Structure 1
Amino acid sequence: MAKKGLKRKQKSEVVKEEEPKVVLPLVRRSDEPVTKKAKWINRERVLVFATRGISFQHRHLMKDVIKMLPHSKPAHKMERKENLFVVNEICKMSHCNKCILFDGRLQRDLYMWFSNCPDGPSIKFNVESIYTSAELKLTGNCLKGSRPILSFDNSFEEHPHFSLLREMFTQIFGVPNHHPKSQPFVDNVLNFSVLDNRIWFRNYQILNEDGAIAEIGPRFVLQPIRIFKGSFCGETLWENPFYVTPAKSRRLLKSKKDDKYANNKIQRKAKKTKELLAPFRVKPENEIFRDGDIKDKAKRILLSKKK
């Protein structure tokens, strides 16, 4: 048995020595370059969540924003009692360096926070004229996960606070190249324009290469309130002098309506007093059928009218 085992080993060694070695060529014959795996360099992650107390419309808007950002990460609702500085810890645990917080009040007013966690800056907006993509029912449509083109108005270059807002929107809404959840094409445009000290947001689909577009949705208007140096805290770098709170604007509208009702009431009362104080004017035609000659009375009335 031992001799047979030795013979087998000797035969295998001979076979191994006889096999020729395959040497790969140093130069490739094909002109095509070697396919390399694309690097995902930009590691921006955006945490998108809300506080308790937002309405269904605000929740639908938040879902539309999450659909537009493939590099976003949703989270559970935050309690209103907690301090906003806790958001930095939530972002750290979620491995996110940007944050969009939807803060609802009385299920009527909506505020949006855009923050660079944890160093800052952070910006607080009041959201107006909200129309979700489900409400609009527009013809435009884009594929999920596509990278958008960010279009900014020339007004963003006029003031320093608008240039800061532009940089913040670029970092948050700009989808990183070669992101695992993104698609390798561009088929929509996110437009930011400034009008009446507000930022108007629109989302368009690119139909053709000649520049034809169709609106997708959602629509909303951002009114900047304050810019803070830190993330959800710190020194106020800029404050909007034209900002009026929604509660105050509703109070002013109500006072205008109350003033209008009070003026109408005063006018009605003045009209009644005027009618009471004015002397009662008797028509001369009514005296014809009283005692006396009717022809003579008619002649007198005609003469008085001629005069």
Structure 2
Amino acid sequence: MAKKNLKRKQKAQIEVVKEDESKVILPLVRRSDEPVTKKAKWINRERVLVFGTRGISFQHRHLMKDIIKLLPHAKSANKMERKENLFVVNEMCKMSHCNKCILFDGRLQRDLYMWFSNSPDGPSIKFNVESIFTSAELKLTGNCLKGSRPLLSFDNSFDEHPQYSLLREMFVQIFGVPDHHPKSQPFVDNVLNFSVLDNRIWFRNYQILDENGAIAEIGPRFVLQPIRIFKGSFCGETLWENPFYVTPAKTRRLLKDNKKDKYTNNKIQRKAKKTKELLAPFRVKPEIEIFRDGNVKEKAKYLINKNKKAF
């Protein structure tokens, strides 16, 4: 009986302690017009799925890891087979509870295409990635804390054309870290800059050194050339197509043709030089004719006059 009474007393003490912990202790002095402090909520539930297909090179993989480090609200996934249809990516996003997607599509271990998609309704944008420099390759002095929220800086040219305004909205939703995200830090220490030049979008990442505006580049660097904008997610109508886009295979072929033309031109020039030498009159060295039999002075005068007439 004594043991049962002890157990009951212990339970009663534990319940009293729990009730005391749940009570909210109000301050002794408080103003009547002071607003009640509310706990900040994580309202923006944007999640980005970042992964690649089989066939990307080591440099493309390092770039993908750099982008994942920049986005605390990003999720990674295994590589996708090239044989599968791109529409499967929407199902992968649904399984991972993500509503945005960045897909790295590699070709021939040298060409990289990047997809930005709003899953599952769209739109989706296909880019050709050029001039890739990862943060490990650059070895720059800038640095930022992992998980910090970046400022997004856009060029004025994003307001000039409707396709660039759509791209800006997509970049804001993907690269903008949601406020009060569990994995994010509650401060800003870097800037993601997007600028348009030569029908391409140049990406740069800078560290904010001082309040005066001093910055230092962190990395990575890459250039996005937009190819097409689709109405759906990895499918649908083509809303816009880049008229200035040239495929990487075509550019390589043009460079080869230029080298071939250079070789043929050199060959033609050598042949023309040889024919010119054959057609030119044969000139005897003047020393040979001077030291033959006869008057040396008269022969010298004759050779000088002959050379004057020739030139």
Partner of 1:188: 190
- The residue type paired with residue 121 of structure 1 is P
Over residues 39-66 of structure 1, what are the superposed CA-to-partner deviations in whole Å (9 max), with x where a residue is unaligned? 0000000000000010110000000000
- Indicate whether 1:29 and 2:29 are aligned: yes
Tell me which of 290, 293, 299 is aligned to 1:291: 293
Partner of 2:101: 99
Over residues 105-153 of structure 1, what are the superposed CA-to-partner deviations in whole Å (9 max), with x where a residue is unaligned? 0010000000000000000000000000011111110000000000000
Partner of 1:173: 175
Q: Quote the Cα distance in structure 1 between the aligned partners of 2:306 and 2:277.
A: 26
Q: Quote the Cα distance in structure 1 between the aligned partners of 2:24 and 2:118.
A: 52
Over residues 54-81 of structure 1, what are the superposed CA-to-partner deviations in whole Å (9 max), with x where a residue is unaligned? 0110000000000000000000000000
Q: TM-score, normalised by structure 1?
A: 0.88
Q: Note the residue ranges of structure 1 that are not aligned, 5 or more in a row.
A: 2-22
Report the 3-state secondary structure (helix = DSSP H, G, I; strand = E; otherwise coil) of the residue aligned with 1:220. Answer: strand
Change (3 A) 1:210 1:288: same
Tell me which of 206, 216, 219 is aligned to 1:217: 219
- Kindly report the root-mean-square deviation, in angstroms, between the aligned alpha carbons of the 2 structures: 2.3
Q: Quote the Cα distance in structure 1 between the aligned partners of 2:24 and 2:293.
A: 141
Q: Quote the Cα distance in structure 1 between the aligned partners of 2:120 and 2:249.
A: 31
Tell me which of 66, 69, 92 is aligned to 1:67: 69
- The residue type paired with residue 155 of structure 2 is D
Q: Quote the Cα distance in structure 1 between the aligned partners of 2:25 and 2:56.
A: 66
- The residue type paired with residue 109 of structure 1 is D
Report the 3-state secondary structure (helix = DSSP H, G, I; strand = E; otherwise coil) of the residue aligned with 2:125. Answer: strand
- Give matches, 1:124-273, under 5 Å: 124-273=126-275
Q: Quote the Cα distance in structure 2 between the aligned partners of 1:132 and 1:85.
A: 29
Over residues 240-264 of structure 1, what are the superposed CA-to-partner deviations in whole Å (9 max), with x where a residue is unaligned? 0000000000100110110011000
Change (3 A) 1:117 1:272: same
Q: Measure how far apart 1:270 and its partner are.
A: 1.1
Change (3 A) 1:305 1:218: closer
Higher CA-based Rg: 1
Q: Quote the Cα distance in structure 2 between the aligned partners of 1:49 and 1:24.
A: 46
Over residues 160-195 of structure 1, what are the superposed CA-to-partner deviations in whole Å (9 max), with x where a residue is unaligned? 000000000000000000000000001110000000
Change (3 A) 1:138 1:302: closer
Q: Quote the Cα distance in structure 2 between the aligned partners of 1:124 and 1:230.
A: 12
- The residue type paired with residue 88 of structure 2 is V
Partner of 2:51: 49
Q: Measure how far apart 1:211 and its partner are.
A: 1.0
Report the 3-state secondary structure (helix = DSSP H, G, I; strand = E; otherwise coil) of the residue aligned with 1:217. Answer: coil
Q: Quote the Cα distance in structure 2 between the aligned partners of 1:254 and 1:303.
A: 53
Deviates most, 111-120 or 35-44: 35-44
Q: Quote the Cα distance in structure 2 between the aligned partners of 1:300 and 1:181.
A: 99
Q: TM-score, normalised by structure 2?
A: 0.87
Report the 3-state secondary structure (helix = DSSP H, G, I; strand = E; otherwise coil) of the residue aligned with 1:141. Answer: coil
**Number of equivalences:** 287
Report the 3-state secondary structure (helix = DSSP H, G, I; strand = E; otherwise coil) of the residue aligned with 1:176. Answer: coil
Q: Note the residue ranges of structure 2 that are not aligned, 5 or more in a row.
A: 2-22
- The residue type paired with residue 64 of structure 2 is M
Q: Quote the Cα distance in structure 2 between the aligned partners of 1:304 and 1:42.
A: 96
Change (3 A) 1:295 1:87: same
Report the 3-state secondary structure (helix = DSSP H, G, I; strand = E; otherwise coil) of the residue aligned with 1:254. Answer: helix
Q: Quote the Cα distance in structure 2 between the aligned partners of 1:306 and 1:71.
A: 87
Q: Quote the Cα distance in structure 2 between the aligned partners of 1:303 and 1:26.
A: 121
Partner of 2:85: 83
- The residue type paired with residue 189 of structure 2 is D
